[in-house]
Amino acid sequence: MQATAIAQPNIALIKYWGKRDVARNLPAVGSISITLCDLFTRMRVEFDAQLSADELTVNEMPDAGMLPRLSACLDRVAGPRRSSARITSTCNFPIAAGLASSASSFAALTVAGAAASGREPGVDELASLAGRASGSAARSLLGGFVELSNSDDDIQVRELLTPADWPLAVVVAITQPGPKRVGSTEAMEISRKTSPFYTRWVDGQEQDLATARAAVLERDFDRLSAIAEHNCLKMHSIMWASRPPVVYWNAATMRCLQTVRQLQGDGTPVFFTIDAGPQVKAVCLPEAAGRVEAALRATPGVVDIMSSGLGAGARLEGVS
Ligand code: DP6
C-alpha cells in the first residue's frame, strides 16, 4: 500500500526550546506557530514486503543520513512488524538550514505512513507520533496559528486561528543556504545542561504563551510583534550563554534585524523571528510584504528571499 501526504513548514512565534523528556522527545515548554503555504514537503510512503530495508530519496537523491530517523518514525506509526518502505521526499526549500524542514517532513511522513498502513489516527495521536520524531512537526499537522501544549505525559495541538482569519505574510531572508553546523536537537540539550538562563526560560514561557495567544485571538499585531521578538531573543540568549556557546547568527542576520528595525521606524507593520539557523523570518501584514521583501533583498549579505502566506495543515494527497 502507498500514500502521499504534503505538509508545510511552520515558524514558531513563541518557541519550543528544550525537552522535559529526551527519550520521548517531549518539549519542556509549549509553543505557538504559524504554518506557511508556499514552502512544502511532499512524502510518499510505500510499504513493500519485497524490500529488505527502508529506502529514502530526498529530491531524487538517496539519503542514508536521514533514513534512521524516518525509519524510527514509521516503526511507531505503522508498528515494528511493518514491511520495509520506499520513502520518497520532495522539498521545495533548503533542508536543515533553520527553515523547519524537519517539521514539514515528519508531519507529512506521519500522515502518509499512517494512511499507507491502513490506519486513520485522530489529530491527538498524529501529534503524539509526529512530535516524537520532531517536536515542531506536530504543529505542521494544523494550519494557520497553532498552539502546542503540554499535557500530563504527552502533547496536544490546536488551531487558534485559520489563515483566513488573519492572513499574515512571512518573508524569509536567507543569509547562508547550507545546512547548519549544530542541529536543534543537540543545541537544545547543550542549553538545558549548561545555560544559566535555561530555568528562567522554562518558568517564563507560560506568560509569553498567554500574551501571544491573546494577541493572536485579538489580532493585535503590535502586541504579537513585541512578545514574539522578545521570546526569540530570549531563546537565542540561552544559547549564547551555554557552554559551548551556540551562535547561529552571522553578520547578515544582524543586518536583517537592523532592516526590520528601520522598517518599524517608518511605520511598517513587521517583526522578526529567528530559529536554529542564521535566516531571518520577517512577519508582516500582507500589504507590507512588498516593502519588507525589497528592504531585506537590499540588505548586504542576504543571498535569497522566500515569501509565503499562511497555509493549511498536513493532508493526504492520495492512497492506493
Ligand atoms: C528553534 O522541532 O527541530 O525551531 O524536537 O529535537 O526535532 P526536535 O527539535 P525541532 O526544534 C525546533 C526549534 C526551533 C523553535 C520552534 O520551532 O519552536
What pLDDT is recorded for position 243?
97
Task: Give the pLDDT band (50/70/90) at residue 92.
Answer: confident
For the segment 150-167, the average pLDDT, to the nearest whole number, is: 96
The residue whose C-alpha atom lies closest to atom 1 belonging to ligand 1 is 275
What pLDDT is recorded for position 99?
67
Task: Give the pLDDT band (50/70/90) at residue 100.
Answer: low
What pLDDT is recorded for position 178?
76
The residue whose C-alpha atom lies closest to atom 8 belonging to ligand 1 is 134
| Cα 44 to middle of ligand 1, angstroms | 23
Higher pLDDT: 168 or 180? It is: 168
Ligand 1 in reach of 184 Cβ (< 6 A): yes
The residue whose C-alpha atom lies closest to atom 6 belonging to ligand 1 is 185
What pLDDT is recorded for position 180?
76
Q: Which atom of ligand 1 has the smallest separation from the CA of 185? A: 6
Q: Which atom of ligand 1 has the smallest separation from the CA of 98? A: 4
Ligand 1 in reach of 20 Cβ (< 6 A): no
pLDDT digits (tens, 9 = 90+) for 220-265: 999 999 999 999 999 999 999 999 999 999 999 999 999 999 999 9
194/300 Cα distance (integer angstroms) = 34
Q: Which residues fall within 8 angstroms of residue 231, CB to CB, at 6 or more apart?
A: 13, 14, 15, 208, 212
For the segment 113-123, the average pLDDT, to the nearest whole number, is: 96
Q: What is the DSSP string of 220-289?
A: -HHHHHHHHHHHHHHHHHHHHTSSS------HHHHHHHHHHHHHHHTT--EEEE--SSS-EEEEE-GGGH
What pLDDT is recorded for position 67?
94
What does the mean pLDDT of the chain come to?
Answer: 95
Ligand 1 in reach of 31 Cβ (< 6 A): yes
| Cα 186 to middle of ligand 1, angstroms | 10
Q: Cell triple for residue 188? A: 537544545
Regarding pTM above 0.85, the answer is yes
CB 5 within 8 A of CB 42: yes
Tell me: cis bond preceding 244? Omega within 30 of 0 counts: yes
Ligand 1 in reach of 93 Cβ (< 6 A): no
| Cα 99 to middle of ligand 1, angstroms | 10
CB 101 within 8 A of CB 61: no
pLDDT at 94 over 80: no
Which residue out of 15, 36, 104, 136 has the highest number of ligand 1 atoms within 8 Å of its CB and is therefore the one to mutate?
136
pLDDT at 95 over 70: no
Distance between first and last Cα of the chain: 6
Which residue out of 20, 182, 184, 281 has the highest number of ligand 1 atoms within 8 Å of its CB and is therefore the one to mutate?
184
Least confident of 152-156, 178-182, 264-268, 299-303: 178-182
252/239 Cα distance (integer angstroms) = 19
Q: Where are the beta strands (DSSP E) in 104-240?
A: 145-150, 155-161, 169-174
pLDDT at 98 over 70: no
CB 143 within 8 A of CB 315: no
